[in-house]
Amino acid sequence: MWQSLRVESVDVTFGPRLWWVDAFIGEHEYGNPAVVILLERPLPDDELQQIAHEMGVSETAFVRRAGDQWSLRWFTPTTEVDLCGHATLATIHVLARELGVPSGEFYFQTRSGVLSGRALRDGLLGMDLPRSFVEPVGVDVVNGVFGDVREVYQAGAQSVIAVVEDYAALCALNVNPIDLFFVPGALVMAVCEGGPGVDVSIRVFAPRLGLGEDHVTGSALCALAPWWVERSGSPTLSVRQASARGGIMHARLFERNVEVAGLARTFFGGELRI
């Protein structure tokens, strides 16, 4: 038909493939959206950042084959980050479930070193993230942004854990994002023991990364798992993120890493026109 309209050719080339994936979903939890983009070739950093800005989700993951491993980078709408848990889980989901890559273990070259991931039982996906080491600090570190807190811990230069009274207090927090800029950490976590069906519940704020409150934060477990084992003696924990979308995570602590696990689903897929 197009020949009769004097169309000389039809462009059938496609851009990079992408998938919108909800990571760390639960029965009534919608998880954290991440866009996973499969690249055939490297793109300039400014182009990657512009794409992430257009996607508008908390993290866009760019994955590319690199020998027998994969190159993986993560961008918020405003900056590249060193580590992202939910976008890594989303990437494992795409490789294993959407592309059917025949690998029992995936290895990713990242700004945080080589990370690994895999499919687990009962539909769970798991990934190994670098563990943090946690130390107690004064409650004045959080500058009162969470009101009265029981304890505060620092995990390196990136994460702060503030322990609030209970799940009701956690859900009732009304945080001014401007005040969070004065807390010395890229991830600022409000945490309580317990919550519906889990060991620990959290809320995570990251304004320095261009995010107000994050939906579900897999990298938070790098600090939370060591904090929990010191508190309870248990190397495993289940976590509910009490954000508007909600999410469920599981973790197991090892000497050098934390295995973080959860469920994921594809919301839609398509191609980029670049």
Give the pLDDT band (50/70/90) at residue 273. Answer: confident
Q: Taking 80 as the threshold, does the pLDDT of residue 124 lie above it?
A: yes
Tell me the average pLDDT of the chain: 92
pLDDT digit string, tens, across residues 66-115:
999 999 999 999 999 999 999 999 999 999 999 999 878 999 999 999 99
Give the pLDDT band (50/70/90) at residue 186. Answer: confident
Q: Taking 70 as the threshold, does the pLDDT of residue 8 lie above it?
A: no
The answer to whether the Cα torsion of 161, 164, 170, 174 is positive or negative is negative
Q: Any idea which fold 134-260 has?
A: Diaminopimelate Epimerase; Chain A, domain 1 (3.10.310)
Give the pLDDT band (50/70/90) at residue 188. Answer: very high
Distances (CA, A) of 48 to 40, 84, 152, 238, 269: 13, 16, 36, 34, 18
Write out the two tokens for 257: 């890493």
Can you list the alpha helix ranges (DSSP code H) found in the chain? Answer: 45-55, 85-93, 167-172, 177-180, 221-232
Whole-number pLDDT of residue 11: 43
Q: Any idea which fold 17-128+261-271 has?
A: Diaminopimelate Epimerase; Chain A, domain 1 (3.10.310)
Active site residue 59: yes
Domain ranges of the chain: 17-128+261-271, 134-260
Is the Cβ–Cβ distance between 239 and 199 less than 8 Å?
yes
Question: Active site residue: 29, 59, 213, 259, which one?
Answer: 59
Check if 17-128+261-271 and 134-260 are the same fold.
yes
Is the Cβ–Cβ distance between 249 and 225 less than 8 Å?
no
